[in-house]
A and B are shown apart, each in its own frame.
Chain A
């Protein structure tokens, strides 16, 4: 079964960057532009990992995370925060909500990949000529 990874970020740039990062691997990548959409995709697809932004319109990342933790089916879904927000208050809030890692933007794509592979097993696809 291919691992499912969900990227929730209002920035298309970040979603495209992650798509580029995970393209060489045998996994399914899903996208959402805000927390509300992220929750809907999470309920539908049950991803193995969510890479989540904090500051988004409609519903921010912490609100989405709280909603997930109150949902019996979603509460154990691993989450990595990827955000420009480095406020100690927010970091301690999401830590209490059980996020697996917190990465601040700007970020090193290889380091993010390293943290992702500690949570989900990613198999590299054969290179196409």
Chain B
């Protein structure tokens, strides 16, 4: 049994709603569908990966947010009014992923799959894709916001079907 069979909407729709919720309310930025991250990146552009785990009795999963360093810098200036250093830029990316994960978890809870969020982990490098375990579902979505690529992935495994 797949988790998506228990949900009122697809994981991609959940991802979109969560991303829109955070970007619109916290950043006053809109999002639009975009080509895959690897195709939208500028040469030598660094990517920040923020990951938050969701663990429950019936589900285990991760949410991955990937944004360019230039987008994270722009958001730091937008939210905090400063030209952020590496630490602030990483922290803001982790906090955005935390907020997005909170909205995703709320939708899963409403569907009967409660869980708790982990604290965000942030790294930097090239674009990555979450590994799809057997029996897990992986949703990869790509967006553009203020001219920058944004990638959001949800990987969820149903533990007891």
Contacts and interface: CB of A to CB of B under 8 A. Distances in A.
B116 A13 contact: no
Contacts of A10: 119
**Interface size bucket, A side?**
20 to 34
Contacts of A87: 105, 109, 114, 116
A86 B106 contact: yes
Interface in B61-119: 79-82, 87-88, 91-92, 94-95, 98-99, 101-103, 105-106, 109, 114, 116-119
Which of B21, B81, B94, B102: most chain A CB closer than 10 A?
Answer: B102
A107 B25 contact: yes
Interface in A78-126: 83-89, 104-108
A56 B117 CA distance: 10
Interface stretch (A14-22, A37-45, A67-75): A14-22
B15 interface: no
Contact of A88 (B87, B98, B109, B119): B109
Given A11-B91, A12-B91, A13-B91, A85 B80 contact: no
Contacts, number: 67
Contact of A106 (B22, B114, B119): B22
Which of the listed residues A16, A17, A84, A107 has the most CB atoms from chain B within 10 Å of its own CB?
A84
A111 B145 CA distance: 25
Given A12-B87, A13-B91, 14 more contacts: A10-B119, A11-B95, A13-B79, A13-B80, A13-B94, A20-B81, A55-B118, A83-B102, A84-B101, A87-B105, A87-B114, A89-B114, A105-B99, A106-B99
Interface of A: 10-14, 16-17, 20, 55-57, 83-89, 104-108
